[in-house]
Amino acid sequence: CFDSRRRQSPRSCQHADLARLAHESRFSVNEVEALYELFKKLSCSIIDDGLIHKEELRLALFQAPYGENLFLDRVFDLFDEKKNGVIEFEEFIHALSVFHPYAPIEEKIDFAFRLYDLRQTGFIEPEEVREMVAAILKESDMILSDELLTMIIDKTFADADSDKDGKISKEEWMAYALKHPTLLKNMTLPYLKDVTTAFPSFIFNTEVED
C-alpha cells in the first residue's frame, strides 16, 4: 500500500504491511507508523503525491529546494533502492533503519562506503575523495589551495589504504572507520531510538498496538 501514487493515510495501510516493514527494519510497528507521519510531511512539501522527490529531500535538509549538492545526490540515490527517481515509504524505512542506534555498526560502515564510492566501482578512489572534498569546500564556502587539498587526501590514503594499491577497498574502509569512529557519527540518529515519544504529535495517528 506504500508504493501507489495515490495519497494515503496510515489508516489505509494494512497491519500486515506495517508489520512487514517493522520486521524488515529496526522499528516497531508503532514506530513505522509514526515514521509514516514524518514521511507524509516530507513527501507533500512540494509535490503532494506521497513520494519524496529530490527537491523535497533537499528542502528538508537545506531549507532550500534548489541547488546542486553532490552529497544530497548520493543520499537520495542510496534511499532510492528502485532507482526510479523517487523515495517510497518502504525505501525510506529501509534506509532509516541503518541509522537506528541499534543497527549493527557493519551496516552503517557499509552504507557510508556506498555513499562515498561515487562511481560504484567497489573502491573509494582518490579522485572521488578529491571530488567530495571539493564539494564540501564549496558547500561551506571554504577555500583550500590545491596543494593543501592534495596533502589532506594523501594523508588520508596513507592511513586508510593499507595495501597501498591507491584505492580504499571495503575491507580497508571497515578497518579505517572502526579506527576513526567520528567518521560514523552521522550514521546514527538518536531520534530513531523511540520515534513515537520523540515526536509526540505523531502519537495521535498511531493506532496499532505492538
Partner 1 sequence: QPTSMNAFELISMSRALDLGNLFEE
- Where do contacts with partner 1 occur on this chain (CB under 8 A)? 38, 42, 60-62, 69, 71-72, 74-75, 96, 99, 115-116, 129, 132-133, 135-137, 139-140, 142, 144, 148, 151-153, 155-156, 159-160, 180, 182-183, 185-186, 189, 191, 198-199
In whole angstroms, give the CA distance from residue 152 to residue 129: 10
Which three three-digit cell numbers place residue 23? 520486521
Whether the CB-CB separation of 54 and 76 falls below 8 Å is answered with yes
Least spacing, CB of residue 36 vs partner 1, in Å: 14
Which of residues 120 and 182 has its CB atom nearest to partner 1 in the complex?
Answer: 182
In the chain, alpha helices (H):
15-23, 29-43, 54-62, 70-79, 89-98, 105-116, 126-139, 146-160, 170-179, 195-198, 200-203
Which of residues 14 and 182 has its CB atom nearest to partner 1 in the complex?
Answer: 182
Query: What SS3 state is found at 162?
Result: coil
In 99-169, alpha helices (H):
105-116, 126-139, 146-160
Least spacing, CB of residue 159 vs partner 1, in Å: 7
Whether the CB-CB separation of 202 and 196 falls below 8 Å is answered with yes
Which of residues 15 and 181 has its CB atom nearest to partner 1 in the complex?
Answer: 181
Rg (CA), the chain: 19
Least spacing, CB of residue 157 vs partner 1, in Å: 8
Which of residues 2 and 157 has its CB atom nearest to partner 1 in the complex?
Answer: 157
Least spacing, CB of residue 114 vs partner 1, in Å: 13
Least spacing, CB of residue 16 vs partner 1, in Å: 27
Least spacing, CB of residue 63 vs partner 1, in Å: 8
Which of residues 19 and 38 has its CB atom nearest to partner 1 in the complex?
Answer: 38
Which of residues 18 and 129 has its CB atom nearest to partner 1 in the complex?
Answer: 129
In whole angstroms, give the CA distance from residue 160 to residue 140: 25
